[in-house]
Structure 1
Amino acid sequence: MTEPVISLKDARLSLPGNAGIVDILNGISLDVALGETLGLVGPSGSGKSSLLMVMGGLERATGGSVMVLGRDMTALGEDDLALFRRDNMGVVFQSFHLIPTMTALENVAVPLELAGARDAFDRAAEELRAVGLGDRVDHYPSQLSGGEQQRVALARAAAPRPRILLADEPTGNLDGATGDAIMDLLFGLRDRHGATLVLVTHSRELADRCDRVIRLRDGRLDTLAQAAE
């Protein structure tokens, strides 16, 4: 049996709040297989985005284990986590997080340049063409629509050819038609690069396109909801 790409065992996340420590994830055990597309769904505040952030090392689990590509994410320092993400992960957020003073081409080239790729701008241009923005490479984020900015963010995430793509509500800020186009692009990038895809979504249509859907409630896997399906 192939070793899972992502493996969580009793993963927990507790963070300080105004009224004391808040338990956000309460013992999540979950494996994600190579090439799988996994949807994380559930009500607001259920822990979906926090679970995704723990998988990506953007939040450090405060209990249990988080193994990604055979590495213990809880044992890595901040610098090592950043390097690990750079070399293995692409992350897409609901907010586009583009650098406003850089063109679309420059935004997409950033992770490639950080990785020392000599052909960073050629590869960035290729990814922008793949998301339908070959004629917008010299435009700044302020000159692009929301859908176009999300396309740039997708291209930036995919350009380093990550083994894992993480997406947090990638269509949440977009209208229906634009969101549908972004969904097609996201799955197209997954197929083109053979990445494992984990995404958080409130969209039933987007969740239905995943190989598997996990529901969360109150920081736990909602096993009753999943058993009822």
Structure 2
Amino acid sequence: MAEPAIRLQDATLTLQGNAGPVQILRGISLQVARGETVGLVGPSGSGKSSLLMLMGGLERASGGQVHALGQDLTAMDEDGLARFRLGNMGVVFQSFHLIPTMTAVENVATPLELEGAADAFDRAARELDRVGLGARLDHYPGQLSGGEQQRVALARAAAGRPPILLADEPTGNLDGTNGQAIMELLFDLHRDHGATLVLVTHDPALAERCDRVIRLNDGRLDGVPA
């Protein structure tokens, strides 16, 4: 049986708040198959984004285990996690997280350069052209619309052809037209390159496009008893 792309076993996340420790995730156990598309849904504050961050090693589990592509993320230090993400994961955030002092093509090329790609800028330009920004390579984020910035962020996440794509409300800051275009691009990447796609969304129609929908409520998988 093939190793799943992502596997969590009894994963918990507790963060320190002003009034003491706050349990964010409570014993999450699930598997995501390679090439699967999964929608994470649930009410605000249910732990969706936190779960996505655990999957990407961007938050460290307080307990339990998190594996991705057969690697134990809970056993890695921060440098190890960063190296693992660089070649294996693309992350698309709602708030873009572009580097404001870099042009669009520089934003996309930077992770490729860190991977040692000699043709980083050529690949970045091709990826930006693919998302409809071939004429905006030398524009800075402040010169781009919200939809264009999100396209740059998507191009950056996808340029290295990572086996796992994680998207946290990638259309949340966009109007309907731009949001629809971004989602089509994400599903195109999944289809064309076989990437595993996990996305957080409040849009039921979008979630239903996925192979499977996972619902969270109060830090637990819906239907799993406390």
Please report the TM-score for the alignment, with normalisation by the length of structure 1: 0.96
Identity across aligned pairs (percent)? 76
Partner Cα separation in structure 2 for residue 192 and residue 103 of structure 1: 27
Please name the residue that 1:202 is paired with: 202
1:188 CA drift (Å): 0.9
Amino acid at match of 1:210: C
1:69 CA drift (Å): 0.8
**1:12-161 paired onto structure 2 within 5 Å:** 12-161=12-161
Partner Cα separation in structure 1 for residue 184 and residue 156 of structure 2: 16
Please name the residue that 2:174 is paired with: 174
Question: 72-81 or 200-209, which moves further after superposition?
Answer: 200-209
Question: 186-195 or 83-92, which moves further after superposition?
Answer: 186-195
Q: Which runs of 5+ in 1 are unaligned?
A: 225-229
Amino acid at match of 2:90: G
Runs of 4+, deviation exceeding 3 Å: none
Q: Secondary structure at the match of 1:223?
A: coil
- Size of the alignment, in residue pairs? 224
Q: Residues 12-39 of structure 1: CA distance to partner in whole angstroms, max 9, x if unpaired? A: 0011111111000000000000100000
Residue 3 (str. 1) matches residue 14 (str. 2): no
Instruction: Report the RMSD for the aligned CA atoms in angstroms.
Output: 0.8
Please name the residue that 1:187 is paired with: 187
Partner Cα separation in structure 1 for residue 5 and residue 98 of structure 2: 28
Partner Cα separation in structure 1 for residue 160 and residue 113 of structure 2: 10
Q: Residues 171-217 of structure 1: CA distance to partner in whole angstroms, max 9, x if unpaired? A: 00001111111110111122222110001011112111111000000
Q: Residues 123-182 of structure 1: CA distance to partner in whole angstroms, max 9, x if unpaired? A: 001100110111111111111110000000000000011010000000000011111111
Partner Cα separation in structure 2 for residue 81 and residue 114 of structure 1: 14
Q: Secondary structure at the match of 2:35?
A: coil
Q: Which runs of 5+ in 2 are unaligned?
A: none
Partner Cα separation in structure 1 for residue 200 and residue 62 of structure 2: 21
Amino acid at match of 2:221: L
Question: 65-74 or 187-196, which moves further after superposition?
Answer: 187-196
Q: Secondary structure at the match of 2:177?
A: helix
Partner Cα separation in structure 1 for residue 215 and residue 56 of structure 2: 19
Q: Secondary structure at the match of 1:11?
A: strand
Amino acid at match of 2:64: G
Q: Secondary structure at the match of 2:96?
A: coil
Partner Cα separation in structure 2 for residue 217 and residue 121 of structure 1: 43
Q: Residues 22-70 of structure 1: CA distance to partner in whole angstroms, max 9, x if unpaired? A: 0000000000001000000000000000000000000000111111111
Partner Cα separation in structure 1 for residue 52 and residue 68 of structure 2: 12
Please report the TM-score for the alignment, with normalisation by the length of structure 2: 0.97
Please name the residue that 1:227 is paired with: none
